[in-house]
Structure 1
Amino acid sequence: MTNWGILGCGKIAGKFANDLLLTEGVNLYAVASRDKEKAANFGNTYKAIKSYGSYEEMAQDPDIDIVYIATPHMFHKENTLLCLSNNKAVLCEKAFAMNLEEVEEMIAFAKAKTIFLMEALWTHFLPHYKFVLDKVASGTLGEIQSLKADFGFNSPFDTTSRLYNKSLGGGSLLDVGIYPVFAALSLLGYTEDIEAKATLGPTGVDHNCSMHLRYAQNVEVQLFSAIDEETPTRCHIVLEKGEIIINSRFHEPSSVTLTENCVTETLEFSTPKDVNGYHYEILHCQEMLALRKTESDVMTFSKSKELIMMLDKIRAQIGLSY
């Protein structure tokens, strides 16, 4: 039985905690928030054995094996280094950190300590997404000709909201734009040939961001993210001999519409009852820990570095700095 700790008690942490409870071989041992009452309420809701009103206290608990970090982006490096320095394996939410320099520091520290560290980009482990990656890699549909992916939702402008707070790493790009960028990276690889433009709001964060990526063989890639408008949140891949649509919302458990040999069918990928889908990356972390791995063989350090490099390039294009 692996003892998990959760650092940060927000909305995503709740979904993750729900799935921990429904995953075999794991135990939600402790939760932590800067607000002791919030930690206690969260712990009671998800049946944690301990709750802490201090990140430092939880990191020092000798009975915790691995910590899931679900704090705002701006604190990921600080929180990750705290847990690693206390010999805790770490699964840290995306975006891994604020820039390449921070990501490299986190990875270097984990390597020096020989402790497992991974970016929690859960999409990579979902069955429907793995199916798409395998289908494209098989070559039966030929090469990718174009890719279009978006992720947008409408959150009313509120200066007190994390999404619009620059000091917390707010904006559409790091919060949801990372998913379309990851789709391009995982399906086509890394590119520095990026053009981007964005609408920056009164608080200095991007309310929406349009991205145009270029690859060899003139592959067209159009990406979009927004926190001020609802979008289909789909990923549409056109190949030489067919097409694949990852239906809404493509980054979470969804269906896939496949056109092959002039036949179109929609494939459903259901998850177990009451599970959000985070259990797939939880099980992967369990496997990595059992094998005494210090790096994921799926969400590798090089993949996390390439992802943040692309995000850094886009931020430079749109004039967004933190």
Structure 2
Amino acid sequence: MHKYKWGVIGTGKIAHTFATALAHCENAELCAVASRTDDKAKKIAEEFGFRSFYGSYKDFAENSDAEIVYIATPMASHFEDAWLCLENGRNVLCEKSLTLNTAQTEKLLAFAREKKLFFMEAMWMKCRPVYRKMKEWIASGAIGDIEYIKADFSNFIPFDENDRLFRADCGGGCLLDLGIYPITLTHDLLGVPDEIISSAHMMNGIDMSNSILFRYKSGAFSSMDNGFEIQLRNNAIVSGTKGFITLGNWFHCTEEGALFDREGREVEKFEFKDAINGYEYEIDEVHRCLDEGFTESPLVPHSDTVAVMKLMDQCRSQWGMKFPNE
């Protein structure tokens, strides 16, 4: 069994969560971690057992022996940080949303292909067992043709002008942070919509909440509500001509899904308890792809990453929302 040497760029909350999963994956080696200061890098290195730490991303990219790098910096930094790693021959797993816009995404993915390196957006939802079971049910024809999707992702988060979520210069706003999940779900199941109807509550240059409707020529549609201002249950339903599927609260990381027939009778229930914290599945997918010599994941292909980014660009265009560093 090959043990892959992992590096992590960023030392925030998501980096800690990911490092926790890495530390419990037997074929992952915690090789190096980087921050913008030595103190922060050293602290997380000591906490999780990374062999080395770096006080600059450039020093890390040029001198560490990491084979695959997880990028956990704010959205506005993803493009620059991922480019730096690719430029120095590192495979990359980059947090979602991959970049601020489609142009950046396409340029980054083209560079990864040019360098013949593995690159994947960290859309962990697509790698999780319940999500994959949902795809199996749909592929089997259990719910027939999809007619309706309802998926929400809205958390009440007290406003903090210093938090990256509320800063336009950090790529803030709920669309790129939360809305990407319902949009990814809808695109994965129904493809590119024929019409997008959306609105957003804007403040300080970012969307505090939004409501998005995708319509399709088939008559199918998807309704999605996202935001930082109210708390929703964040569950999802996928309804078809023969039945429907429910994904439990926090649908993007739920451990429970259920299949129902057209009359609402439960046909099958699927429950799967995470072995660590749920991030292990995308780590396993990265390892599988590297073992197979893939440069992109079949579960999270580059084409899907680009398509979803285009849909989010269209929503932002309807709201007149543009990041200062685009």
Give the alignment's TM-score, normalised by structure 1: 0.96
- In the TM superposition, what is the alpha-carbon distance from 1:133 to its structure 2 partner? 1.1
User: What is the CA deviation profile of residues 241-289 of structure 1, one whole-angstrom value per residue up to 9, with x for unaligned ones?
Assistant: 11111011111142113212642254312111xx111111111111111
User: Is 1:301 matched with 2:319?
Assistant: no
**For the residues of structure 2 that align with 1:35 and 1:97, how far apart are their CA atoms?**
23
User: Is the 2:244–2:262 contact (alpha carbons within 8 Å) kept by the matching residues of 1?
Assistant: no
Q: How many residues align?
A: 319
Tell me the residue number matched to 2:79: 77
User: Is 1:90 matched with 2:103?
Assistant: no
Tell me the residue number matched to 1:317: 318
Tell me the residue number matched to 1:68: 70
User: Is the 2:142–2:243 contact (alpha carbons within 8 Å) kept by the matching residues of 1?
Assistant: no
Tell me the residue number matched to 1:146: 148
For structure 1, the 5+ residue unaligned runs are none
One-letter amino acid of the counterpart of residue 243, structure 1: F
Tell me the residue number matched to 2:283: 282
Tell me the residue number matched to 1:251: 252
Tell me the residue number matched to 2:273: 270
After TM superposition, the structure 1 = structure 2 runs for residues 118-197 of structure 1, keeping only pairs within 5 Å, are 118-197=120-199
State the 4+ residue runs in structure 1 displaced beyond 6 angstroms.
none
User: What is the CA deviation profile of residues 3-32 of structure 1, one whole-angstrom value per residue up to 9, with x for unaligned ones?
Assistant: 000001111111110000111211111111
User: Is the 1:147–1:236 contact (alpha carbons within 8 Å) kept by the matching residues of 2?
Assistant: yes
**For the residues of structure 1 that align with 2:226 and 2:7, how far apart are their CA atoms?**
31
| Percent identity between the two aligned chains | 36
**For the residues of structure 2 that align with 1:124 and 1:37, how far apart are their CA atoms?**
35
For structure 2, the 5+ residue unaligned runs are none
User: What is the CA deviation profile of residues 266-319 of structure 1, one whole-angstrom value per residue up to 9, with x for unaligned ones?
Assistant: 4312111xx111111111111111222212122111111101011111111121
- In the TM superposition, what is the alpha-carbon distance from 1:94 to its structure 2 partner? 0.4
Root-mean-square deviation over aligned CA pairs:
1.2
| Change in 2 beyond 3 A, CA 1:172/1:261 | closer
User: Is the 2:167–2:206 contact (alpha carbons within 8 Å) kept by the matching residues of 1?
Assistant: yes
Q: Secondary structure at the match of 1:101?
A: helix
User: Is 1:34 matched with 2:36?
Assistant: yes
| Change in 2 beyond 3 A, CA 1:192/1:317 | farther
User: What is the CA deviation profile of residues 50-77 of structure 1, one whole-angstrom value per residue up to 9, with x for unaligned ones?
Assistant: 1111001111125210100010110111
**For the residues of structure 2 that align with 1:150 and 1:207, how far apart are their CA atoms?**
14
